[in-house]
Structure 1
Amino acid sequence: MSTKRMRPSGTWEYIIRRKGILPKPLSLTFDTEEEGDAYVRRLEQMLDAGILPEDLVARRSDLVTVEDAIRSYMTKVSLPASDVSLLNALVGRWTGQPLTGVDYQWVESWVKSMKRKDVMAPSTIRHYVGALARCFDWVVRSGTPSLATNPLRLLPKRYATYTDEDSVAVRAQDKAPREDESRDRRLLTTEEASVRRILDGEKPENRQRGPDLNFRPAMVFLFELGLESAMRMREMYTIDLSQFDVARATVFLDKTKNGSKRQVPLTTVAIAAFERYRKLVMARDAEMRGFAFDSGRLFPWWDGSRDKKVLAGISVRLSGQFGRIFDAAGCGDFKFHDLRHEATSRLYERTSLSDVQIAKITGHSDTKVLMRYSNLRGSDLALRLW
């Protein structure tokens, strides 16, 4: 039996059911009703005879469509919150799209659509492609015949960069093509000193008052920890006191952006900053507004909730608060996340650690990302030449 309906787009969708032959209802889409009627009529004749056409053999797998693959992957694999968010946004994008139709042409068409229709930033395009590529990798490893190879892995370098043709198509819509923004902002020595003065409560020049510094000791410690450890903001403000091991000079992170656990070594500066912060909290410093370590939490902003909206709200508020601090210090284009870049840069400048060792500290899952820091050791490489 089959049913059909015309979609709002004008295409025709057919649903074919055959118990014992098809593992689940088969969805097919055609541009015209005549084309659909003719194809489905031939298909039903073959199914009635107990014959499954070769091009539908792959559909015996539970993973028939792209949506099936995404949902199954998200159910069976533990994923970081970032991938979950990206894949959830993709679930309804290709309703009924069979995995057997996912080829390089399909991939190119999707990337082109993200640029010319959605006008996404190159970094956002890479995030979406990366999340779906990891999903398809899992599908291929599962052995399903629906997807033998992952065409997303065939994309060339700079696939997310807008070409001249992409730019023309975007400008025709009175929009501007997006450029790749690489955050290479370093914190100058004078800027760091200025930020510390603002965090100490000093009034900025040419202003009647400075930014609000709610839980000021915690703000100071968060700044120090970010600058010394290269941890992400959320990784830091969700730390429990039990994860901070002064004796071993480490912080154990069990929840990270990429889903993996890691042990972060602490510098003597970070440990000293922690001791100062701990003493203020234990002494019930008035600026901490009653916060204590009784709950086991290291910072006052987080109540232990893992709700994504709650965490996102905290991140936005803290980012905004530090944005005002940096602006008051005269470095308004500096973002809190730039502390991670600054801290990573200092690891390259001040240590002889390898890329792999630094990646274990920073939590970068791909050491290729760290290639951008290689120029910081140009003098070290020169010393090895004859």
Structure 2
Amino acid sequence: MASGIEKRGPAQYRVRLRINGKLVTQTFETEAAAREWRDVQKGKIVGDEFVDKKVARDTTVAEACGWYLDRIAPVGKDGKREPISQWAKNQASQLKFWIAHEEIAGWSLLSVKPWDLTQIVDELLEELAPQTIVHRLNVLSVVYKQWQMAFRTPVMNPVIEGVRPALGKGRDRRILEIEEDALLKAAEGSSRPWLQPAIIIAIESGMRQAELSGLTWDRVRLDDEYPHIFLDKTKNGRSRTVPLSERAIEAFVSLRPATPTVGKVKVFPIETPRAVGHAFRDIVDGVFDNLRWHDLRHEAISRLFEFTDLRDQEIQAIVGHLGAEMLSRYTHLRSARLGARLPKLRASRS
């Protein structure tokens, strides 16, 4: 008989344990159930309780969000969701964002880390106010808390301090010329030969991390009269054309295969946008102060406003959607040049 378990008769197994000097007993119908209860209690006493995380490992973010959505906005007889309150209605709209997210929706609950959310926040800041992003992160945090309570399975909540964006002034990290040279030199020494061209293309074109990672050669038109990239699907669901500078063209040429490609052959040998972020962090961490991959896109947009005469709407068309709030972050860069457009006035003298 297993230690601490006594067979009392048919379908009767009693467990006897001494916890904090007090004798505790419990009776079960099967020896397996008795053994499981005994092991759990012993684990709690020594602080080494066994936790089976299989359920969490097999549950995706979308499934957990859907589970919570069903709790606060169940589907009625008419097939429509009926939020239990106005608060639930607001939460439901945020949950649908995570359920439909093209990347982490299919990840296991155990796979999402704070740095993954930081990358998503950087992308969302292109179009959304920080407060809106905080709302989305808050509901994801609630899902993690409620799910682990309901299923009695501890999982790390990735929405920790530092993930939520600041509600004050938006991020405005610029890249100095000397810093850019050092960054490219560091990338040249990377184990990923594609990283340096990717950085150049990002700074020159303003393309998003996900757009670069999924780019295929059939979308790169280097031999056209006006070289460009045609993106048939972007973050906002619309297609757009990205003109290429001479510097960007040179970067693409350095990546172009020696033999012509057929079909959808990827430009960069990576599977997900995270691979770009990981490669970038390997060369910037501890070297370049608080520099993120998304700052390359911000730098690209800033330079279009500073060094070109393109209209605001033309820049929007090149880099993708920029809301009015985000656009205002860049228009000030042209303020210094507005003086040339003012009428030349001479003070009258009596």
* Counterpart among 170, 177, 199 of residue 223 in structure 1: 199
CA gap of 1:191–1:179, structure 2 versus 1, over 3 A, is: same
1:371 aligns with: 328
CA deviation after TM superposition for structure 1 residue 200, in Å: 2.2
CA deviation after TM superposition for structure 1 residue 232, in Å: 0.7
- 2:203·2:300 contact (CA, 8 Å) conserved in 1? yes
CA gap of 1:341–1:101, structure 2 versus 1, over 3 A, is: same
Amino acid corresponding to residue 226 of structure 1 in structure 2: A
1:205 aligns with: none
1:343 aligns with: 300
- 2:215·2:268 contact (CA, 8 Å) conserved in 1? no
- 2:205·2:243 contact (CA, 8 Å) conserved in 1? yes
CA deviation after TM superposition for structure 1 residue 159, in Å: 6.2
Instruction: Tell me the secondary structure at the aligned position of residue 277 of structure 2.
Output: helix
Q: Which whole-Å CA distance do the structure 2 matches of 1:362 and 1:381 have between them? A: 23
Instruction: Tell me the secondary structure at the aligned position of residue 251 of structure 1.
Output: strand
- 1:126·1:160 contact (CA, 8 Å) conserved in 2? no
CA gap of 1:318–1:158, structure 2 versus 1, over 3 A, is: closer
2:211 aligns with: 235
1:265 aligns with: 243
- 2:240·2:318 contact (CA, 8 Å) conserved in 1? yes
Instruction: Tell me the secondary structure at the aligned position of residue 263 of structure 1.
Output: strand
1:320 aligns with: 278
Q: Which whole-Å CA distance do the structure 2 matches of 1:197 and 1:88 have between them? A: 46
Amino acid corresponding to residue 206 of structure 2 in structure 1: A
TM value normalised by structure 2: 0.52
CA deviation after TM superposition for structure 1 residue 222, in Å: 1.0
Instruction: Tell me the secondary structure at the aligned position of residue 337 of structure 2.
Output: helix
Q: Which whole-Å CA distance do the structure 2 matches of 1:187 and 1:237 have between them? A: 22
1:140-195 Cα shifts (integer Å, max 9, x gaps):
xxxxxxxxxxxxxxxxx986599xxx9xxxxxxxx979552633211122211111
2:265 aligns with: 297
CA deviation after TM superposition for structure 1 residue 253, in Å: 0.4
List aligned pairs for 1:112-261, cutoff 5 A: 160=132, 180=166, 182-201=170-189, 212-214=190-192, 216=193, 218-246=194-222, 247=224, 248-261=226-239
CA deviation after TM superposition for structure 1 residue 257, in Å: 1.1
- 2:217·2:261 contact (CA, 8 Å) conserved in 1? yes
Instruction: Tell me the secondary structure at the aligned position of residue 282 of structure 1.
Output: coil
- 1:258·1:365 contact (CA, 8 Å) conserved in 2? no
Instruction: Tell me the secondary structure at the aligned position of residue 272 of structure 1.
Output: helix
Larger gyration radius, structure 1 or structure 2: 2
Q: Which whole-Å CA distance do the structure 2 matches of 1:189 and 1:263 have between them? A: 27
Q: Which whole-Å CA distance do the structure 1 matches of 2:329 and 2:67 have between them? A: 30
Structure 2 gaps of 5+ residues are 1-61, 101-128, 139-159, 344-350
Amino acid corresponding to residue 196 of structure 1 in structure 2: L
- Name the stretch that deviates more: 336-345 or 88-97: 88-97
- For these two proteins, the number of residue pairs brought into alignment is 224
1:94 aligns with: 73
CA gap of 1:125–1:339, structure 2 versus 1, over 3 A, is: farther
Q: Which whole-Å CA distance do the structure 2 matches of 1:85 and 1:333 have between them? A: 34
CA deviation after TM superposition for structure 1 residue 94, in Å: 1.6
Amino acid corresponding to residue 188 of structure 2 in structure 1: D
CA deviation after TM superposition for structure 1 residue 332, in Å: 4.6
TM value normalised by structure 1: 0.48
1:323-360 Cα shifts (integer Å, max 9, x gaps):
111226x2152111211111011110111112211111
Instruction: Tell me the secondary structure at the aligned position of residue 184 of structure 1.
Output: coil
- 2:74·2:81 contact (CA, 8 Å) conserved in 1? no
CA deviation after TM superposition for structure 1 residue 363, in Å: 0.8
Give yes or no for the alignment of 1:106 onto 2:94.
no
Instruction: Tell me the secondary structure at the aligned position of residue 229 of structure 2.
Output: strand
Percent of matched pairs sharing the same residue: 28
CA deviation after TM superposition for structure 1 residue 369, in Å: 2.3
Structure 1 gaps of 5+ residues are 1-83, 115-123, 132-156, 167-174, 202-211, 284-291, 303-310
